[in-house]
Amino acid sequence: MCSDRSRTAMRPKPKKSLGQNFLQDHNIRRKIVEACDFSSSDTVIEIGPGQGAMTGLIAARVKRLIAVELDDILAASLEERYKDDPVVTIVHGDILSCDIEALAGRNFHGKLFVFGNIPYYITSPIIEHLFRFRSIITAVYLTVQKEFGKRIAASAGSDDYGSFSCFVQYFSKPKIEFIVKRTCFYPEPKVDSCFLSLAIRSKPPVDVADEELFFKIIRASFQKRRKQMRNSVKDVVPGEKMARALAACGINPKIRSEELDLSQFAAIVNAIVYEK
Ligand code: SAM
């Protein structure tokens, strides 16, 4: 189900290379688990349980908890701790190579949630990976760097808004639930975090005739976010064609990329695709 790429030297102290900042604060641990919409029939996949700060708290509320840890020593220690536990299964491996559907098991009942206080350096790859399995996931709960959470939840026109905001908002409804101060962790990171929920959408909020073109245009737009959008995407859609699409949608031809929301990007793509 998952490949293991962690046969590295073993050190007892927290490993920077694995993004290890352990949640120490008991109040925030409780606040986090209480903010999750778990019930006793649910299955949860925990990413990077570490020393198990959240594992027991989650396990007490759900039917099954599958925790995927990459670190050899931590995984072995959790395996030992939970070896007789009927709720918790520890998987030693890399979440990015896990087949989430296989992990949950074909016959899982209730809802499937993914939870993690995740390593900062692989936040985007983790979200992209999880979204491939969105049809079976109800919600994703993540503790991420505060600035990253703001980017994910940002609205059009704000400085934090970008192509990743569009990507995440197309597939889910992100919400920053609360801030988690850096002092809650050991070792203490340089920045604060936030606890973020991503409620997976059953269908995207806008109808898009060509999803590949939609994301190509969005990515190109935000490479030059302050420029006029029609100039930023010249390599994807020729200027004249884009001018006609903008006119058909009634959008100011001089609009800048960062001002366009998801429904406007969708309208532009549909105008291009359906142009007679
Ligand atoms: N959940 C614990 C807590 O809150 O104290 C640990 C959080 S720490 C920020 C991130 C954890 O993810 C570490 O235990 C680290 O070893 C683990 N990890 C790093 N990369 C991983 C990967 N690709 N797959 C699974 N776990 C990973």
DSSP collapsed to 3 states, 8-76: CCCCCCCCHHHCCCEECCHHHHHHHHHHCCCCCCCEEEEECCCCCCCHHHHHCCCCEEEEEECCHHHHH
Strand partners, 65: 44, 88
* Residue type at 3 in one-letter notation: S
pTM above 0.85, yes or no: yes
Mutate to test the pocket of ligand 1, among 28, 58, 70, 182 (most ligand atoms within 8 A of CB): 70
Phi first, then psi: what are they for 268, rounded to 5°? Answer: -65, -45
Q: Identify the residue with better confidence: 10 or 228.
A: 228
Q: Which of the 8 DSSP states describes residue 164?
A: H
Q: Greatest CA span in the chain, whole angstroms?
A: 66
Instruction: Report residue 107's pLDDT band, with 50, 70 and 90 as the boundaries.
Output: confident
Whether the predicted pLDDT of 3 surpasses 60:
no
For residue 275, is pLDDT > 60? yes
Please give the single-letter amino acid code of residue 106. Answer: R
Ramachandran region of residue 146, left (φ > 0), alpha (ψ -120 to 50) or beta?
alpha
pLDDT at 276 over 70: no
pLDDT given for residue 11 in this prediction: 43
- DSSP letter, residue 155: P
Q: Are residues 156 and 259 in contact, defined by beta-carbon separation less than 8 angstroms?
A: yes
Nearest atom in ligand 1 to 21's CA: 9
pLDDT for 21 equals 96
What number is the average pLDDT over the span 60-84? 97
In percent, the amount of the chain with pLDDT more than 70 equals: 95
Q: Which of 22, 98, 144 to mutate to test the pocket of ligand 1 (most atoms within 8 A of CB)?
A: 22
106 pLDDT band (50/70/90 cuts)? confident
Mean pLDDT for the stretch of residues 98-103: 96
CB atoms within 10 A of CB 97: 13
Give the residue among 273, 117, 125 at the shortest CA–CA distance from 209.
273
- Record the tokens describing residue 184, joined without a space: 């809650």
Q: Is 22 in the pocket of ligand 1 (CB under 6 A)?
A: yes
Q: What is the pLDDT of residue 108?
A: 77
Band of residue 9 on the pLDDT scale cut at 50, 70, 90: very low
pLDDT at 227: 87
CB 96 less than 6 A from any atom of ligand 1:
yes
CA 4 to CA 97: how far, in whole Å? 9
Reported as a pLDDT band with limits 50, 70 and 90, residue 92 is very high
Question: 125-143, pLDDT tens digit by residue?
Answer: 999 999 999 999 999 999 9
* Ligand 1 center from residue 42 Cα (angstroms): 22
Please state whether 19 falls in left (phi above 0), alpha (psi between -120 and 50) or beta. Answer: left
Average pLDDT over the chain reads 94
**Is there an atom of ligand 1 within 6 Å of 50 CB?**
yes
Residue range 169-226, pLDDT digits in tens? 999 999 999 999 999 999 999 999 999 999 999 999 999 999 999 999 999 999 988 8
Our answer on whether the CB atom of 70 is closer than 6 Å to any ligand 1 atom is: yes
Residue 114, CA distances (Å) to 47, 67, 174, 257 in order: 7, 10, 14, 32
Centre of ligand 1 from the C-alpha of residue 119, in Å = 6
